[in-house]
Amino acid sequence: RRNLSDRINSVSPSATLAVDGKAKALKAEGVDVIGFGAGEPNFPTPDYVVEEAARACRDPRNYRYTPTAGLPELRDAIAAKTKRDSGYEVTPQQVVVTNGGKQAVYESFQILIDAGDEVIVPAPFWTSYTEMIKLAGGVPVEVLSGADQNFTPTVEQLEAARTERTRAIIINSPSNPTGAVWPEETIRAIGEWALEHDLWVISDEIYEHLNYDDAKTTYIGAVVPELRDRLLVLNGVAKTYAMTGWRVGWMIAAEPVAKAAAKLQGHLTGNVDNVAQQAALAAVAGPLDEVHRMREAFDKRRRAIVSALSEIPGVQCPTPTGAFYAFPDVTALLGRPLGPNGSVAETSSDLASLLLDEAHVAAVPGEAFGAPGYLRFSYALADDQLVEGIARFRRWVEA
């Protein structure tokens, strides 16, 4: 009786956290590593948010549990923000405040999926989706769209993957890891297709405010309103307000679904940290000025990283128009000697390891996102680090 469960043994560790952990361990040993691994803005959380948290900390009323689904004022503010940004009405009762967007994703699969149910996952996908589906007893069905199709699936591809057991699809635009922003016609077509086949749609909108050039986030609940009964929208403050460590996210769904999520959360974690919820309230109810300022900074870095990566022989970097990731195709670097030692990477995973060990640059291999042959670079790091990191990559390839 000393074995761990099949459930936990079937799951891989988070590859993005693993790369980041390895980079941090090397740094702790004194190695000067440049980390493109973590999807974490390097900006401080806005002052007015921190001030609100400090105030909340000093008020003993906030030392207690809140309702499991969240502070009523925060649920109100999230409903109002949804109207402002997505353009449609939801009630505060449809909102469940979660410990980060991550918990909202986890709860979605736990409440929707029975053993053997299939969930369509367009790839490249965020690394935790497939593992969380497995943790719910479900079967992730990956549908890959590469750089040649702008990392955007067609309904024909999705339909080819649909079976009698398909229960849901998860979408994420703007996307981690590709930075792709799917066009409105794609999102609309996916919504109509899901409606026709009675599927749940889980829409992870955590990068909604990070769009560049002419790209615009399309909210599936706005363009296909009939879908709202079977739509779960996931979001959070982490990426929008540089609040990764505060751990506040949310789910918006039809009331019975939201109630089910709150029931689960009641046994899992209970409420989110009271003080963090008040900080999130200041963020969500506040203006988007800081967000726009950060977006401009990201946009400069985006241009810098795409042009620097594109100058490396063997690296093909499509221009991302959302989030803060570049996802270049590195297949031309595989299977040939690289670097001063003439090391050979057979896979993008080998390449990421060599890059970290020999050039001290941390990037996440495409394997973690269901897309071997690519590397993911987060450009949420400081400008000088970004320039130096990609220069190292280039020097190493050219050595």
Chain contacts with ligand PLP (rule: CB under 6 A): 39, 100-102, 105, 126, 172, 176, 204, 206, 236, 238, 244, 249
Q: Which residue of this chain has its Cβ atom nearest to ligand PLP in the complex?
A: 100
Complex with ligand PLP: residue 189 or 206, whichever CB lies closer: 206
Complex with ligand PLP: residue 327 or 396, whichever CB lies closer: 327
SS (H, E, C) 237-263: CCCCCCCHHHCCEEEECCHHHHHHHHH
Nearest-approach distance from CB 248 to ligand PLP, in angstroms:
7
The gap between the terminal CA atoms of the chain, to the nearest Å, is: 53
Complex with ligand PLP: residue 102 or 360, whichever CB lies closer: 102
Nearest-approach distance from CB 195 to ligand PLP, in angstroms:
23
Strand ranges for 116-228 from DSSP E = 118-123, 139-144, 166-171, 200-204
Pick from 212, 252, 217, 250: which is nearest to 231 by CA? 252
Nearest-approach distance from CB 125 to ligand PLP, in angstroms:
8
The total of other beta-carbon atoms located within 10 Å of residue 262's CB is 22
Nearest-approach distance from CB 49 to ligand PLP, in angstroms:
15
Count how many residues are written for the chain.
Answer: 399
Complex with ligand PLP: residue 136 or 238, whichever CB lies closer: 238
Complex with ligand PLP: residue 128 or 166, whichever CB lies closer: 128
Nearest-approach distance from CB 100 to ligand PLP, in angstroms:
3
Contact 69, 277 (CB under 8 A): no
Strand ranges for the chain from DSSP E = 34-35, 95-98, 118-123, 139-144, 166-171, 200-204, 231-236, 249-252, 325-326, 337-338, 343-344, 361-362, 364-365, 375-378
Nearest-approach distance from CB 16 to ligand PLP, in angstroms:
7
Complex with ligand PLP: residue 39 or 179, whichever CB lies closer: 39
Residue 348 to residue 282: CA distance in whole angstroms: 42
Complex with ligand PLP: residue 39 or 339, whichever CB lies closer: 39
Q: Which tokens go with 256?
A: 């019975």
Complex with ligand PLP: residue 281 or 359, whichever CB lies closer: 281
Distance of CA 375 to the CA centre of its chain: 16
Residue 380 to residue 243: CA distance in whole angstroms: 13
Nearest-approach distance from CB 314 to ligand PLP, in angstroms:
27
Q: How many CA atoms lie within 13 A of 148 on its CB side?
A: 2
Q: Angle, to 10 degrees, between the axis of helix 72-86 and the axis of helix 274-285?
A: 30
Nearest-approach distance from CB 253 to ligand PLP, in angstroms:
16
